[in-house]
Copies of this chain bind each other. A is one copy, B any other.
Amino acid sequence: MTTIIPVPSNTPELNVSPRLLLGPGPSTVDPRILRAQTTPLLGHLDPWFIELMDHTQELLRYAFQTENRFTIPISGTGSAAMEAAVANMVEPGDGVLVCASGYFGLRLADMAQRYRGNVKIITCPWGQVFKEEEVSEALKSHPSKVVCIVHAETSTGAKQPLDQIISIAHAAGAIVIVDAVTSLGGIPLFVDRQDIDVCYSGSQKCLSCPPGMSPITLGERAVEKLTARKTSVPNWYLDLKVVQQYWGKERTYHHTAPISNVYGFYEALRIVAEEGLENRWQRHRKNAELFWNGLTEINLSCHVEEKYRLESLTTVRVPENVEEPIVRSLLLNEYNIEVGGGLGELKGKVWRVGLMGYSSRRENIILLLAALKEILKN
């Protein structure tokens, strides 16, 4: 009964440096959300908690602009919702077309392969978007039941126009999975009007909530495909048929919901509703333009052409003869500002600046631009 492994000698009080989070996520969290996370716990089957779940779903439908009954937060960070989408929609052997315009598109392809889809990947240069013809041609040579596409590519800063591609996919009999991790709550997204079948996001981007919840919504075609599955979903935790029995009328226990995360997520959605989606989209747009104009003034440029440039995440080109990681570490250590480095093809070539949710504020942009100017002049 005696322990052998001793208590570690150094278990310091939790201390953090007050970072301004302007990277690809998490974004700075609204203090109201942090406060919500201190609420004493309810059980996951408590009637008070169940009422909160209902309110959360209603607010989430507003944020997604959908009337889909099947609209819930998954108990995990953004990639968990991505995996839930793929695991539930792809059956072994299904034709799957993945439009990978960056790192997160490739992650979708990796997942679709793990779920034994018959996967075709099309790519475009990082920072650009797909044209309709590319998708329609790919669907001709590779008939698909599922098309996956990223709305806001966090690795490239490009915003993919969706409407034509969704029509093409539907005409070819496929359902469409849209990754809206870096768009939900920051840039216009209309799940119903745009006829998106499966859409998912993360809590830690434009919703400015800590990571740990990832919302997903399924339209009618997706629910039909799920119901018609011939094989069971080869993932227990993310099996949406049973997860939905907890969030739906049955209230059947599946896994224990992360209570504090749901509290925070609910508060985040309340804040979105108070501001109103249109106002929120406008704020993100206005602040993005302020930042882009400021970059020009200090002789920096954006990697993505303006037409396809994402308001929530900007890829800034690293000038020649500048060491990318050094600038990033000076920003962090001397100014307490976090920005991201490039991923994959863009490693060393760009900084990734997120202006998302609570972080999308004029004063943050002024500070970041001033800091960049100081660092780069040396």
State the A residues within 8 Å of B (CB): 1-8, 10-12, 14-19, 21, 23, 25-26, 28-29, 34-44, 46-48, 52, 55, 58-59, 61-62, 65-67, 75-80, 83, 107, 110-111, 114-116, 188, 190, 192-193, 202, 204, 210-212, 232-238, 253-261, 263-264, 266-267, 269-270, 273, 276-278, 281, 332, 338, 343
CB within 8 Å for A110 and B236 given contacts A37-B260, A202-B256, A257-B211: yes
- Closest chain-B Cβ to A194's Cβ sits at a distance in Å of 11
A48 CA / B16 CA spacing, docked (Å):
7
- Closest chain-B Cβ to A233's Cβ sits at a distance in Å of 8
The one of B1, B19, B43 in contact with A43, judged by C-beta atoms closer than 8 angstroms, is B19
A123 CA / B257 CA spacing, docked (Å):
28
B7 touches A273 (CB 8 A): yes
A253 CA / B111 CA spacing, docked (Å):
16
A38 touches B39 (CB 8 A): no
In the complex, the chain B residue whose C-beta lies closest to that of A261 is B212
Closest 7 CB pairs of A and B: A212-B258, A210-B260, A79-B255, A8-B58, A37-B37, A34-B38, A211-B256
- Closest chain-B Cβ to A22's Cβ sits at a distance in Å of 10
20 CB < 8 A contacts A-B:
A1-B278, A5-B65, A5-B66, A14-B39, A21-B41, A26-B44, A26-B256, A34-B40, A38-B38, A75-B77, A76-B255, A77-B256, A79-B256, A83-B235, A83-B236, A210-B259, A235-B235, A260-B260, A260-B261, A261-B261
The one of B7, B46, B48, B204 in contact with A276, judged by C-beta atoms closer than 8 angstroms, is B7
B19 touches A41 (CB 8 A): yes
B263 touches A3 (CB 8 A): no
In the complex, the chain B residue whose C-beta lies closest to that of A18 is B40
A83 CA / B236 CA spacing, docked (Å):
7
The one of B52, B83, B188 in contact with A14, judged by C-beta atoms closer than 8 angstroms, is B52
- Closest chain-B Cβ to A98's Cβ sits at a distance in Å of 13
A61 CA / B114 CA spacing, docked (Å):
31
A276 CA / B41 CA spacing, docked (Å):
25
Residues on the B chain within 8 Å of A193, using CB: 4
In the complex, the chain B residue whose C-beta lies closest to that of A253 is B343
- Closest chain-B Cβ to A300's Cβ sits at a distance in Å of 22
CB within 8 Å for A55 and B11 given contacts A76-B75, A235-B83, A256-B25: yes
A62 CA / B261 CA spacing, docked (Å):
27
- Closest chain-B Cβ to A342's Cβ sits at a distance in Å of 12
B257 touches A62 (CB 8 A): no
In the complex, the chain B residue whose C-beta lies closest to that of A212 is B258
A360 CA / B293 CA spacing, docked (Å):
59
The one of B1, B48, B212 in contact with A281, judged by C-beta atoms closer than 8 angstroms, is B1
A40 touches B16 (CB 8 A): yes
B59 touches A11 (CB 8 A): yes
A6 CA / B67 CA spacing, docked (Å):
10
The one of B16, B55, B107, B343 in contact with A12, judged by C-beta atoms closer than 8 angstroms, is B55
